[in-house]
Amino acid sequence: MFSLKSKIAVITGGGSGIGKAMAVLFAQQGAKVHIIELDEKAAAETVNEIGEAAAYHICNISDQKQVVDVFNSIQRIDILVNNAGIAHIGKADTTSEADFDRVMNVNVKGPYNCLFAAIPLMKAQGGGVILNTASIAATVGITDRFAYSTSKGAILTMTLAVARDYLHDNIRCNSISPARVHTPFVDGFIAKNYPGHEEEMFDKLSKSQPIGRMAKPEEIASLALYLCSDEASFITGCDYVIDGGFTKINN
């Protein structure tokens, strides 16, 4: 079950964290994985870890021409995972226009550019699978995450629109909404925004989930594998929350 043999998968932000876990698992399941990254060092390290089943492309997903050129060079895309994203701390009245634009360019325009480039390829080959990484922030209120939450809300509704529009092109589109996941990004985020209080903030963020810890990237990757596999062929237009009970269980 859950074989991706002979599938071509494109994963944005596949050099680290959740994206890396997806890339490693998808390759283990037989896919040829193309990692889309800005961080060449991280991308190269992930490809070296995976081996011949992976390749990387340095690309700014907020630049449509770059994305189209890279995707056309890959030629066939069976699976697209829109995973790359950035975070931001701030409320509506403390978020600068520049920061808002930066988050939207990466978190919303980036996935749109990838959809714009990948969907014609999928239509021409008779179908494909798209998975978008949203967040619990798309559906519940998270303090001081105005721009980030707004961007992930866009991803959630983008997923529904794509699923509806391409039903008859044999293209499935779903999203996943993780809560906090322990990645190098999280460690860096805490260090940058809470210097001197890293351990305290890590513990606080971990315990904000009723299950008592952050998710592991591999746990998110396992859900992604299912949704991108043929076993999920009847699933489209759905968002899957993977949150340790955060959205439904009171801690």
**Are 126 and 97 part of one and the same domain?**
yes
Q: Specify if 85 maps to a domain.
A: yes
Q: Specify if 249 maps to a domain.
A: no
**Are 149 and 56 part of one and the same domain?**
yes
Cβ 139 vs Cβ 122: under 8 Å: no
- The angle that helices 110-125 and 146-165 make with each other, rounded to 10 degrees, is 20
Domain of residue 146, CATH code: 3.40.50.720
Active site annotation includes 194: no
**Are 174 and 186 part of one and the same domain?**
no
**Are 225 and 125 part of one and the same domain?**
yes
**Are 208 and 227 part of one and the same domain?**
no
Q: Specify if 250 maps to a domain.
A: no
Q: What is the pLDDT along the chain (251 residues), one digit of tens a residue?
A: 999 999 999 999 999 999 999 999 999 999 999 999 999 999 999 999 999 999 999 999 999 999 999 999 999 999 999 999 999 999 999 999 999 999 999 999 999 999 999 999 999 999 999 999 999 999 999 999 999 999 999 999 999 999 999 999 999 999 999 999 999 888 888 898 889 999 999 999 899 899 999 999 999 999 999 999 999 999 999 999 999 999 988 65
pLDDT of residue 250: 65
**Are 206 and 138 part of one and the same domain?**
no
Q: Specify if 246 maps to a domain.
A: no
**Are 34 and 147 part of one and the same domain?**
yes
Distance of CA 90 to the CA centre of its chain: 22
Q: Specify if 245 maps to a domain.
A: no
Q: How many domains does the chain have?
A: 2
Backbone angles phi, psi at 179, to 5 degrees: -85, -150
**Are 76 and 174 part of one and the same domain?**
yes
Is residue 103 within a helix (H) or strand (E), and if so which, with residue range? Answer: helix 97-104
**Are 234 and 202 part of one and the same domain?**
no
Alpha-carbon span 121 to 137, nearest angstrom: 31
Give the domain range for residue 192: 182-214
Among residues 112, 148, 166, 240, which one is catalytic?
148
SS3 string, 106-168, reads HHHHHHHHHHHHHHHHHHHHCCEEEEEECCHHHCCCCCCEHHHHHHHHHHHHHHHHHHHHCHH
Global pTM reads 0.94
Residue linked to tokens 């994963």? 11
**Are 208 and 120 part of one and the same domain?**
no
**Are 103 and 196 part of one and the same domain?**
no
**Are 18 and 44 part of one and the same domain?**
yes
pLDDT of residue 67: 98
Nearest to 199 by CA among 189, 190, 212, 208: 190
Cβ 169 vs Cβ 127: under 8 Å: yes
pLDDT of residue 186: 87
